Amino acid sequence: MGAFTGKTVLILGGSRGIGAAIVRRFVTDGANVRFTYAGSKDAAERLAQETGATAVFTDSADRDAVIDVVRKSGALDILVVNAGIGVFGDALELNADDIDRLFKINIHAPYHASVEAAR
């Protein structure tokens, strides 16, 4: 019996790197884990198969999609927001749409997910 047995965990951005390590750890400790991905479907499916966690495609820049995945996850014990992007380059030459996407993923998604999880 692990430290998180019986707990429900949602990880936004869990298919690769640190997110995948978080998924593995919670599963190892007994949690029921769902994680989102927006990039590699293959990586997400491999991780889900390896761990027994549930992978859900979600564009974290889409507010309604973020709220929907939280709602469909049911009562959460733990929400981990790991999804994030960076935009690099000369500030005078950056694309405004890229900056908008950065704020949607890095600022708006954590806010909307947290509010919905608290309901």
CATH superfamily of 8-118: NAD(P)-binding Rossmann-like Domain (3.40.50.720)
Predicted pLDDT of residue 1: 72
Residue extents of the structural domains in the chain: 8-118
Sheet holding 54-57, edge to edge: 54-57, 32-37, 8-12, 78-81
| CA 107 from centroid of its chain's CA atoms | 13
Q: Are 25 and 1 in contact (CB under 8 A)?
A: no
pLDDT digits (tens, 9 = 90+) for 15-58: 999 999 999 999 999 999 999 999 899 999 999 999 999 999 99
Each residue's pLDDT tens digit, 63-79: 999 999 999 999 999 99
